[in-house]
Amino acid sequence: MVNGVGVNWGIQSTHPLSPSTIVRLMKDNGFQKVKLFDADAPTLNALSKSDIEVMVGIPNDMLPSLAANVQAAVDWVTKNVSSHVSNSVNIKYVAVGNEHFLTSLNGTYIGVTLPALQNVQAALIKAGLGNTIKVTVPLNADVYQSASNLPSDGNFRPEISDSILKIVDFLAVSGSPFTVNIYPFISLYENSNFPVDFAFFDGTQNPINDNGRIYENVFDANLDTLIWSLQKNGYANMSVVVGEVGWPSDGDISANLKNAQQFNQGFLSSVRKGTPMRTGPIEAYMFSLIDEDNKSIQPGNFERHWGIFYFDGKPKYDLRLNGNNSNGLVPASGVYYLPKSWCVLSSKVSLDNDKIADSVSYACEKGDCTSLGYGTSCGNLDTRGNISYAFNSYYQIQDQDLTACQFPGLSVVTDKDPSTGDCKFVVMIDTEASTVDRILGSVGMALVAFLMVVM
């Protein structure tokens, strides 16, 4: 795998692949590091003896209690770190919260982040893990800025600078890295005038010249803005980890397979070289491993499509993780599906039917319609196709329960795949069959081992 590059593993899915399947997927593709957003026990148990380096996460809503009570931090570390280290889980970092200084959060966590960080660090030391496991705070790139857009003019936002620098000082003293999440896609998504070529790694017609340092992509410019911000405040040598970086493949006109492949492959090639301010390999975690169809879409419909793999572990596009001479992505194994059955709008139904609007609204609320709309993978569907897509999404998420295809006088079940072009009408994973197969597989292997001993 590319030196220093790991992957984010989120579990906000209606039908997640089993943790053991995901761990096997990561190992088959050479990922040696993984970043989690919590300390989910089944997830960590599956990582036991895998040798994959792990960053466990503490959700933001836990920070107030951890900040107020060091014993709460001790209890959390005992349950979520020490017990798993004893079970041969290779935990390297504890992420205390995630992006909790976003301007949209209105300072909710500013006062509790540092004391929570201090208490978790104290708990790690008490557990005898302070030298091997480091705390960090994954922050969004909006904690720093540059009025001129030159990296050398970068500094932390004035209104949070004091709080950020106290955190930075604590991280420096404890030998922990500064972790930042950088999203060039968001720059393009939020600004229609943003130069498209500057979001990728293939060069630009208008590079930034910052006193002789040339920037041909926004990732390098963004990361070096942070480096300058640290340097100006006395932390020139502080280690930096990129906690999240990636590109979604659906849900917006700029979120498609072509752009996602172009960005991620470009990043994997660029990450070896570093930036003008920090040459050499960058420690980073791609966002993300697999699509999550139950994530909040408040930021945008693209939120459910960041994975380099689809929900079922199939690769989305050709991606050479070890460079141009390596093989492409390896799909997940041992995945089972529900029968080839879809729920669609009946051909007998008129589009004037007054029950359609409420039914589609309900189906999309309970299902996932983020692939519908202008510029998306299913953006070329006609009205009937859009309705059918919504019905089928709900039907699949409800495990093809026949009652989930009983929209009043509107829907029918079919065994004919309604997929067309790039628009795929999914058939959901059969999570029960996958679980049974995994159990039987383990039993079978144990039985074979027993028979070999007996014979």
Q: Which two tokens stand for residue 236?
A: 């020139």
Told to judge if 99 belongs to the known catalytic residues of this protein, a careful annotator would answer: yes
Beta-sheet pairing, 240-245 with 91-96? unpaired
> Which amino acid is residue 137, in one-letter code?
V
Q: Between the CA of residue 180 and those of 93, 100, 202, 243, what are the distances in Å?
A: 14, 12, 23, 5
CA dist., res. 401 & res. 184, Å (int) = 40
DSSP string, 162-192: HHHHHHHHHHHHTT--EEEE--HHHHHHH-T
Instruction: Tell me which amino acid residue 407 is.
Output: F
End-to-end CA distance of the chain: 41
Name which of 130, 37, 113, 8 is nearest 77 in CA terms: 130
C-alpha distances (whole Å) from 73 to each of 220, 242, 342 are 36, 25, 48
> Pick the catalytic residue: 216, 244, 292, 303?
244
The label of the residue with tokens 């659906």 reads 250
| Residue 262 exposed, middle or buried by CB count within 10 Å (0-12, 13-18, 19+) | middle
Would you give the distance in Å from CA 131 to the centre of its chain?
A: 28
Taking the C-alpha atoms of residue 358 and residue 354, their distance in angstroms, rounded to an integer, is 8
Q: Return the closest-CA partner of residue 142 out of 67, 229, 260, 58.
A: 229
Nearest by Cα to 396 from 5, 14, 93: 14
152 φ/ψ angles, rounded to the nearest 5 degrees:
-70, -15
The pair of structure tokens assigned to 50 is: 């895998």
Angle at 332 between CA 325 and CA 437, to 5 degrees: 150
Nearest CA among 130, 135, 236, 129 for reference residue 179: 135
Contact (CB, 8 A) for 50 and 91? no
| β-pair type (283-286, 91-96) | unpaired
**CB distance 92 to 47 below 8 Å:** no
DSSP state of 125: H
Eight-class DSSP state of 294: T
Q: Which of 99, 216, 292, 303 is catalytic?
A: 99
* 244 among known catalytic residues: yes
By annotation, the residues acting in catalysis are: 99, 244
